[in-house]
Structure 1
C-alpha cells in the first residue's frame, strides 16, 4: 500500500462526499472528479475500483 494511493483515495472520498448531493451540473462534475481520484488511488494500491452507486453501501 502506497502513501500516495491512500492519500488519493482519501482526498477523492472527501471531494465526492462534499459534492455528491448538489443539484447543479458543476457539483455533479466535482463529485465525479472525486470518484475518479478515489478509484485512481485504489488501483495504485492494488484494489479494485468502486463501481457501485455512491451512498448505497455496496461492497
Structure 2
C-alpha cells in the first residue's frame, strides 16, 4: 500500500461521507467526487474500486 493511495482513499471517504445524505444536486456531486477520489486511491493500492452509488450502504466485497 502506498501512502499516497491511502491518503487519497481517506480524503475521498471523508468527502463522500460528509455529502452523501444531502438532497440537493451539489451534495450529490460532491459525494461522487469523493467516491472518485476514494476509488483512485484504491486502484493505486491494488484494490478493486467501489461500484455502488455513494450512500447506498452496501458492504465492501
User: Does the TM-score normalized on the shorter chain lie above 0.5?
Assistant: yes
Q: Report the 3-state secondary structure (helix = DSSP H, G, I; strand = E; otherwise coil) of the residue aligned with 1:46.
A: coil
TM-score (norm 1): 0.92
Instruction: Give the RMSD, CA atoms, in angstroms.
Output: 1.1
In the alignment, structure 2 segments of 5+ residues that lack a partner are none
Instruction: Name the TM-score, length of structure 2 as normaliser.
Output: 0.89
**Which residue number corresponds to residue 59 of structure 2?**
57
- Matches of 1:42 and 1:58, distance apart in 2: 12
- Paired residue total: 59
Structure 1 runs (4+) deviating above 4 angstroms are: none
Listed as ranges, the matches of 1:1-59 within 5 Å are 1-53=1-53, 54-59=56-61
Task: Give unpaired runs (5+ residues) of structure 1.
Answer: none
